[in-house]
């Protein structure tokens, strides 16, 4: 669709609007230029579906701006650059969002192509099935934190349909975070370590069934808005030697030299959690890779610095798997 893409580029240049593309979606605003104050209240986002795949923001944004003030517009994209047939528009107020639904639902962008405009369901929970029976709560959380953002809680359950498997319910802090996580996990990641894993939105009926089956599920419960399982814990069951051996093998395979790790404890909590900063330099890579992780002092023989190195190594494995 070269003509449509060229029209989009011309519109961007003419209006000065900047669209940011990341993780399979292209975003306008959030906040838009000239926005004053905080984000709009919850419930101001509408869901837009049945879009022709060669329609882009140069048509959609002016249309949805015509009924109210837009805070953000997100268009979902395919790898080839076509839209995936749906988008999200977040308005400045509930009144604007209601007006968009009343005015634009069944609006015909083209003859015979009425679009759907309705309230965004704001789904935030995913179900991951097909996990190995031996997977642990902390190991799963540590790996998920490496490949997704905005996790609110993770709950492990025995799989109702498979005796030697587990499933996990992932709850995210926003629908956007959950949608991005779903896309990342559906595309496959070596961080979960098993083929045949399925990821989908959590069905309400399955959620009720799991709640009945599991009287006391292992869960990262939240109090006062903060997770008790402090963000980005490192899995204690992972051997530093094994992780480093795999990382070194991957580096050698791609003609990189042995990584050099630096770790520093920057915060200690009364409950035993410690926050570590880490930086990894890989000779042959242009820039070092750094980040933060939390580890728990549990007297199991592995030092806190070793656990921080495990988290760093998992991070590097993910980065290398995406870039090499």
Q: Assign domain 125-211 one CATH number from 3.90.380.10, 3.40.50.10090, 3.40.50.920, 3.30.70.330.
A: 3.30.70.330
**CATH 3.30.70.330 region(s) of the chain?**
2-119, 125-211
- Residues β-bridged to residue 249: none
Nearest to 213, CA basis, from 155, 152, 172, 131: 155
pLDDT tens digits, 2-31 = 888 899 999 999 999 999 988 788 999 989
Judged against a pLDDT cut of 80, whether residue 142 lies above it is answered with no
Judged against a pLDDT cut of 70, whether residue 224 lies above it is answered with no
- In our burial notation (b when 16+ CB lie closer than 10 A, e otherwise), range 160-171 reads eeeeebbbbbbb
Q: CA 124 to CA 182: how far, in whole Å? A: 10
Query: Averaged over 146-153, what is the pLDDT?
Result: 82
Q: CA 224 to CA 3: how far, in whole Å? A: 52
Mapped onto helix, strand or coil, the DSSP state of residue 211 is helix
Longest dimension (CA), the chain: 69
Quick one: pLDDT at residue 308?
Answer: 82
Mapped onto helix, strand or coil, the DSSP state of residue 172 is strand
Query: Averaged over 90-106, what is the pLDDT?
Result: 95
pLDDT tens digits, 292-311 = 787 776 545 567 888 888 88
- In our burial notation (b when 16+ CB lie closer than 10 A, e otherwise), range 80-95 reads ebbbebebbbbbbeee
Q: Assign domain 2-119 one CATH number from 3.30.70.330, 3.30.1370.10, 3.40.50.2300, 3.40.50.720.
A: 3.30.70.330
Quick one: pLDDT at residue 229?
Answer: 36
Q: According to the CATH classification, is domain 240-321 in 3.40.50.720?
A: no
The alpha-helical segments, DSSP class H, found in 105-174 are: 137-147
Quick one: pLDDT at residue 234?
Answer: 43
Quick one: pLDDT at residue 320?
Answer: 66
Is the separation of the CB atoms in 142 and 232 below 8 Å?
yes
Given the structure tokens 């009924």, which residue do they identify? 67
More confident residue, 215 or 175: 175
CA 120 vs CA 9, 97, 186: distances in Å: 28, 10, 21
Quick one: pLDDT at residue 117?
Answer: 94
Query: Averaged over 251-257, what is the pLDDT?
Result: 76
Mean pLDDT of all residues in the chain?
Answer: 79
The rounded percent of the chain whose pLDDT value lies above 90 is: 23
Is the separation of the CB atoms in 76 and 86 below 8 Å?
yes
CA 198 vs CA 62, 134, 237: distances in Å: 38, 17, 24
pLDDT tens digits, 270-284 = 767 788 888 888 887
111 token code pair: 């003859």
Judged against a pLDDT cut of 60, whether residue 322 lies above it is answered with no
pLDDT tens digits, 99-115 = 999 999 999 998 889 99
Q: CA 229 to CA 141: how far, in whole Å? A: 9
Query: Averaged over 208-234, what is the pLDDT?
Result: 44
Judged against a pLDDT cut of 90, whether residue 176 lies above it is answered with no
More confident residue, 146 or 229: 146
**CATH 3.30.160.20 region(s) of the chain?**
240-321
State how beta strands 289-296 and 273-281 pair: antiparallel
- Banded pLDDT at 211 (limits 50, 70, 90): low
């Amino acid at each position: 669709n070269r003509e449509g893409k060229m029209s989009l580029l011309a519109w961007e240049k003419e209006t000065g609007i900047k669209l940011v593309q990341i993780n399979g979606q292209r975003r306008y605003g959030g906040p838009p230029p000239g926005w004053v104050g905080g984000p709009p209240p919850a419930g101001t986002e509408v869901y837009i579906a049945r879009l022709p795949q060669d329609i882009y923001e140069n048509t959609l944004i002016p249309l949805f701006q015509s009924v109210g003030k837009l805070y953000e517009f997100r268009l979902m994209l395919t790898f080839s650059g076509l839209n995936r047939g749906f988008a999200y528009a977040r308005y400045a107020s509930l009144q604007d969002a209601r007006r968009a639904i009343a005015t634009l639902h069944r609006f015909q962008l083209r003859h015979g192509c009425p679009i759907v405009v309705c309230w965004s369901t704001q789904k935030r929970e995913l179900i991951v099935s097909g996990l190995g029976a031996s997977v642990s709560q902390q190991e799963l959380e540590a790996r998920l934190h490496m490949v997704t953002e905005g996790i609110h809680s993770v709950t492990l359950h025995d799989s109702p349909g498979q005796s030697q498997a587990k499933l996990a319910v992932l709850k995210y802090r926003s629908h956007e975070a959950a949608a991005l996580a779903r896309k990342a996990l559906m595309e496959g990641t070596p961080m979960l370590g098993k083929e045949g894993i399925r990821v989908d939105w959590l069905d309400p009926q399955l959620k009720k069934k799991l709640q009945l089956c599991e009287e006391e599920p292992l869960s990262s419960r939240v109090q006062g808005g903060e997770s008790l399982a402090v963000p980005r814990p490192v899995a204690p069951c992972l051997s530093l030697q094994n992780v480093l051996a795999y990382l070194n093998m991957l580096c050698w395979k791609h003609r990189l030299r042995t990584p050099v790790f630096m770790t520093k404890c920057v915060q200690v909590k009364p409950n035993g959690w410690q926050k570590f900063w880490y930086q990894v330099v890989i000779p042959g890579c242009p820039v070092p890779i750094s980040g933060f992780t939390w580890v728990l002092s549990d007297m199991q023989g592995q030092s806190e610095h070793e656990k921080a190195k495990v988290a760093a190594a998992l991070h590097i494995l993910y980065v290398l798997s995406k870039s090499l």
